[in-house]
């Protein structure tokens, strides 16, 4: 959801007088960018399997006619939305070229080697508009202010297979807490029971600047991430949300290809091994320290310019 924001911002720039509708599914509403569109259409998702098929089709058709339909999902539901609703031009964002001929008038194939938000913008290039030099997210929300600057660590993901080992996170956080004693090091706990951070925090009990936090509210999560100096995370939505808040991030990858979620600028780093093995603690520590040095240099430069 948050990675669609640059596309929606540019879409509005390209078509300033258009009525923009965002169609989403009912089981995937967290972070919907309602502030960037005129209308939100909600199709029934997997949480509403009890709804009769006839009613599901009726809801899908409520999207209605649009001059342009941009499919940024390429799922079975989005294919049906394209089939059931007329448009002057249907533009897709699929992995497989065959779907271009089945559902769209034109398509930009999704790449595993380009940041996904950039490929979405390529669909606008397809109809003659230029891509911005820098992605804009304009994520609403106010940065959290704390007495000490802080780094956020998010140690879980959508599946256990994508999680860096707990002992590795303990080693990283312990090292950073000693290396940067003037910072709070906040370990953000996930929402599910299996995402407990007790194992990670146990070896760090003697470090007063290592803190646990659990935030269920999206606005509070955005505020926390906006105020952070750095966010260190597995391949997960929290990192995407941090990217959208324009907070520097480090992503730890080994179960998935990293390039899809790697913006090409100095604010964001990914750590992975070419053989797909789990990155070691030293590699992550070195990269994390490098980003921290960059942030310190940037802050000094900004302070000097203001002076």
- The phi and psi torsions of 23 (rounded to 5 degrees) equal -100, 125
Instruction: Flag whether pLDDT at 289 surpasses 70.
Output: yes
Taken in order 259, 265, 266, 268, the sign of the CA dihedral is negative
Q: What is the pLDDT, as a whole number, of residue 285? A: 96
Tell me what the mean pLDDT of segment 164-180 comes to: 97
pLDDT tens, 105-145? 999 988 888 999 999 999 999 999 988 888 999 999 999 99
Q: What is the pLDDT, as a whole number, of residue 81? A: 95
Instruction: Flag whether pLDDT at 301 surpasses 90.
Output: no
Q: What is the pLDDT, as a whole number, of residue 305? A: 60
Tell me what the mean pLDDT of segment 136-165 comes to: 94
| 153 closest CA partner among 191, 190, 188 | 188
pLDDT tens, 39-97? 999 999 989 989 999 999 999 999 999 999 999 999 999 999 999 999 999 999 898 88
Domain with CATH 3.40.50.2000 in the chain: 2-125, 150-306
Residue 264's SS3 state is coil
Please tell me the number of Cα atoms within 13 Å of 82 on its side-chain side: 27
Contacts 24+ apart (CB under 8 A), 217-225: 218/30, 218/31, 219/141, 222/139, 222/140, 222/141, 223/141, 223/142, 223/143, 223/144, 224/144, 224/152, 224/186, 224/188, 225/152
Q: How far is it, in rounded angstroms, from Cα 162 to Cα 86?
A: 39
The verdict on pTM exceeding 0.75 is yes
Q: What is the pLDDT, as a whole number, of residue 209? A: 97
DSSP code, position 277: P
pLDDT tens, 177-231? 999 999 999 999 988 888 899 999 999 999 999 999 998 889 999 999 999 999 9
- The CATH code belonging to domain 2-125 is 3.40.50.2000
Q: From 1.10.3720.10, 1.10.1200.10, 3.40.50.2000, 3.30.360.10, which CATH number describes the 150-306 domain?
A: 3.40.50.2000
Residue 161, token pair as written in the block: 């297979």
Q: What is the pLDDT, as a whole number, of residue 118? A: 92
pLDDT tens, 224-277? 999 999 999 999 999 999 999 999 999 999 988 899 888 888 889 999 999 999
| 43 closest CA partner among 21, 22, 25, 63 | 25
DSSP code, position 150: E
């Amino acid at each position: 959801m948050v990675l669609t924001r640059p596309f929606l911002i540019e879409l509005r720039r390209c078509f300033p007088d258009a009525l923009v509708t965002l169609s989403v599914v009912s089981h995937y509403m967290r972070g919907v960018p309602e502030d960037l569109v005129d209308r939100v259409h909600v199709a029934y998702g997997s949480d509403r399997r009890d709804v009769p098929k006839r009613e599901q089709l009726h809801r899908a058709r409520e999207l209605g006619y649009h001059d342009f339909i941009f499919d940024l999902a390429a799922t079975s539901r989005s294919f049906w939305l394209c089939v059931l609703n007329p448009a002057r031009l249907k533009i897709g964002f699929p992995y497989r070229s065959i779907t271009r001929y089945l559902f769209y008038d034109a398509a930009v194939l999704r790449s595993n080697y380009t940041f996904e938000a950039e490929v979405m913008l390529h669909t606008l290039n397809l109809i003659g508009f230029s891509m911005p030099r820098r992605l804009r997210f304009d994520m609403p929300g106010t940065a959290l202010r704390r007495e000490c600057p802080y780094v956020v660590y998010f140690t879980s993901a959508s599946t256990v297979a994508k999680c860096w080992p707990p002992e590795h996170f303990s080693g990283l956080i312990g090292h950073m807490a000693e290396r940067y004693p003037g910072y709070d090091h906040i370990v953000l706990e996930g929402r599910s029971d299996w995402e407990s951070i007790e194992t990670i925090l146990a070896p760090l009990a003697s470090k007063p600047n290592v803190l646990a936090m659990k935030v269920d509210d999206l606005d509070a999560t955005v505020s926390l991430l906006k105020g952070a100096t750095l966010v260190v995370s597995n391949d997960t939505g929290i990192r995407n949300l941090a990217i959208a808040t324009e907070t520097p991030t480090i992503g730890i990858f080994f179960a998935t290809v990293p390039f899809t979620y790697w913006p090409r600028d100095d604010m964001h780093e990914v750590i992975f091994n070419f053989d797909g093995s789990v990155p070691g603690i030293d590699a992550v520590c070195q990269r994390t320290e490098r980003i921290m040095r960059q942030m310190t240099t940037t802050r000094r430069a900004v302070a000097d310019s203001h002076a």
